[in-house]
Structure 1
């Protein structure tokens, strides 16, 4: 069935039932009635064709949101419905057409892949690959270093591999794996014979850093981090989409008078403490700016912990291995003698274990002196290395490439980057994060969901859900009618929330709420004369693009509700409130109510929670 979009004239959708494309082509004239709940959708736009599992089509990139209209209708196959064209029966042709639709590169002889398609002079390239074997079976995989992965595949399969195609994109390891699942499932749905089991990894027993740096190179770096990094000539990666999202944050960073000194601190840290920083950037470590409501000038994260932080007031801290810098009282006294302004703190991070000390400095100069101390940087380098071996960075969502470019002006980024492929909304990573029970309980100017200093602030690389507000009614700006008319959500410039807006990704869900205190008779519990905090939800939608201004996102809005849905007690007045599934029961309940159409909130659990039990709980 071909459905033409009345919103985008160059796009059409072919909805195919649950059988192979080739079989569908042969039966294109047949009569077949019944609702289509599974199968495949072929998205066509400007001659680019993409196959998408139909039961996920409403969850993909919101630029395809109009397909939801098709789903809402009881789609049936009738005699007057025909397919646009018959699909090829050959698995090779079918896999080739699929790869074209996902903008994979042209097929390259596997023997030549590492000398022609992926050369040593190129930046480290991440993405996905499609292997074709001599028996016309296939393999879909991903890697943060495609060239190195081809070496591993050569050792594993050897001369059995005929050709390879690449889909290069700067993406986090979590995103690479998430999309690999989707790509594998699509090819399986098409009936293409695959050698890999769905979602199986290529190699087992390797630590995360092995994928990029062989063990011998890791040992070389450990012996002399500064010397190794100084000799490294790896180019910078292309991150065009990430640069767009964080253009406003980057401008604010560069406009500060202390930018050169802060960048110098970051440069010292990267060169002394991070293995091959240009090669490991993004997938293994990230740097954010303007987070914690604008209170952080920069934050370097490895795994799911922060390792270097410079605050807006130019104080900062560094996490290091205690055993290498202050294992006993004598060495601790010696450290304090060298750095009298430094304070040692006990800190707890899951990634670091017990061998950790946080070194805090009240000034930027003091932080720079710490990083000029070889014993301190050796302890910091060991911590970074150990965490990188455990797993990939969980905070690539917040990475600002322009800050790193300031560190390495002699290594310009490549101009071209392939666009992303659509993905569904499956949460694959969970990062524990404490949060305040209600916005009114949080310290002044602290949004609900934010955590105390030295803890992980944001949800990591998970699918986030965004609850936002409209502008003040008296201003007349940024009202729900404006959002609907313009297909966007927008706030007035506010440094406290710009980094959060920059972190919004296409495909994520967003809802507009208005918080108020109510005393109406229809409240579903006994308020005992107390006012009740409530959020009225007026709009929900799916983010389609992020222009990077830190103030707005494009949104494909769902149909507006005549009567807003109301959620009680667990509320926030913040302009931007972010949450994810699987982190807290309160978040799961709110997400289910707002985004999944859950008919009722779990009000009994909330009103009997400590925060509200005195006023509304059972007696």
Structure 2
């Protein structure tokens, strides 16, 4: 029996859990009604000529309006796959979905792997340029008029439940929350709508030293430390373009100071306003000139690209500012990807119908990064078992329970919360050896080695900050050894495409490859005196 391209596309869409088909002229009334939270995800358009189009958007309702303008009555039906996801994840999976359909022989209107226009306004997908200009003229008033409900993020809330609890247990949590509220409402374009995809807020990162950190694009813009000292990044050209302006700033804010800094996203036009106390930070956030300089920087970055740090986003901090908003959200019927609670109709959003369209060089340096810094890329996790003397949390326990677990420790809670389902995890121990089985001449020196006991795939993160559920691979008969490049970090994060040493370690730990970089490591300046070629 010959299967038509349309039937093939429908079977494929069913396997991907897309919603049932909706007539295109009804989709914004039936599946994406006005007044609900901004819905992101993927979609499959079917045209009257039996061609198809796979797409993604952080705002599916607005994207449908865009397609109506472009193709009008040519579109027959649409199938939706809503999910709260970062822009990076939306685009990554769109590429996969497009290639899958293309491989099935389904005729597509997509321009596969087309490059993006470098001048494209990334924020215009959600906020039209005219609205951006109105916002910049008076951010606080513009934000106050927005009634967009918060996105449903049940899975993200679970992962960061412990971090959120620790945040709210602080005796001065109300102070940090009020500072966050003032910042968001004065400096961030419609924070309810742009949350997660365009900005994120984390808590407890950097070993618990940060009370909160707001990130936009690939840079931090508002940070409070554990003692509520902090800094705000702003456009230098608008606040302190010369020494005279810096002097005027210091006279007006004697307890704050300006720190020259560099961020790639800021294109060289940035300066940090550092505040030693929450009172001085509040004074800064109530200064119209400083707020305008911060707002301009944030808008410019959002227009360049979406936030890359959604992995670290703690939704509960946003709910503490807009209580009750998230629990009312409902995704399209039959396609929910988060647990939500239906509620009464909500006031319409401010703009419900927007219509707008290497690896590091092999130079001998050591890679250095953390999950707090890596952003929205696939991470690989190296973790330890419990101490043998404790007889708890041993590899055999992990296999039996289908989990990895460590004793609770606030320093590592944020890292464990960052672990995502689908990412790979390995249990390893580290030791120094003087054995004769070392595969090079150790010249009587001790050699650092990691023993790899288990590898698996994370299946769930309960949000307790000390465990994840894991589907473990079959355990090896004997641990595999990796030499020299070892770390004592309790939770060690790696990623592909970052450094040649990480590439080798990931391939060894998760792909079953042999260690191929021993000669390079032995002759690296760090080890060459002990193990290098003479």
State TM-score, norm by structure 1: 0.79
Gaps of 5+ in 2: 339-357
Which stretch shows the higher mean deviation, 461-470 or 100-109? 100-109
CA distance, structure 2, for counterparts of residue 605 and residue 431 of structure 1: 16
Q: Is the 8 A contact 1:180 1:199 kept in 2?
A: no
In the TM superposition, 1:34-433 aligns within 5 A as 89-200=3-114, 205-414=119-328, 418-419=336-337
1:117: Cα distance to partner? 2.2
Change in CA separation of 1:205 and 1:361 when aligned onto 2, cut-off 3 Å: closer
* Residue matched to 2:517: 602
1:128: Cα distance to partner? 0.7
1:237: Cα distance to partner? 0.7
* Residue matched to 2:355: none
* Residue matched to 2:484: 569
1:206: Cα distance to partner? 2.4
Candidates 464, 473, 477, aligned match of 2:379: 464
In the TM superposition, 1:577-592 aligns within 5 A as 577-592=492-507
How many pairs does the alignment contain? 509
Change in CA separation of 1:432 and 1:244 when aligned onto 2, cut-off 3 Å: farther
Change in CA separation of 1:218 and 1:368 when aligned onto 2, cut-off 3 Å: same
Q: Is the 8 A contact 2:258 2:271 kept in 1?
A: yes
* Residue matched to 1:520: 435
Gaps of 5+ in 1: 1-21, 24-88, 421-429, 439-447
Deviations 1:158-197 (A, max 9, x none): 1101111211111001100111122222222333222213
1:106: Cα distance to partner? 2.7
CA distance, structure 2, for counterparts of residue 192 and residue 561 of structure 1: 43
> What's the C-alpha RMSD, in Å, of the aligned pairs?
2.1
Change in CA separation of 1:529 and 1:432 when aligned onto 2, cut-off 3 Å: closer
Q: Is the 8 A contact 1:237 1:414 kept in 2?
A: no
SS at match of 1:299: strand
* Residue matched to 2:426: 511
1:522: Cα distance to partner? 1.7
Q: Is the 8 A contact 1:431 1:459 kept in 2?
A: no
CA distance, structure 1, for counterparts of residue 117 and residue 84 of structure 2: 21
Candidates 364, 374, 388, aligned match of 1:473: 388
SS at match of 1:567: strand
The yes-or-no answer on 1:493 pairing with 2:408 is yes
Deviations 1:96-133 (A, max 9, x none): 33323333223222122223322221111100111111
1:333: Cα distance to partner? 1.2
SS at match of 2:264: coil
Q: Is the 8 A contact 1:431 1:460 kept in 2?
A: no
State TM-score, norm by structure 2: 0.91
1:431: Cα distance to partner? 10
CA distance, structure 2, for counterparts of residue 111 and residue 432 of structure 1: 49
CA distance, structure 2, for counterparts of residue 172 and residue 528 of structure 1: 50
CA distance, structure 2, for counterparts of residue 262 and residue 609 of structure 1: 45
Q: Is the 8 A contact 1:128 1:140 kept in 2?
A: yes
CA distance, structure 2, for counterparts of residue 210 and residue 484 of structure 1: 48
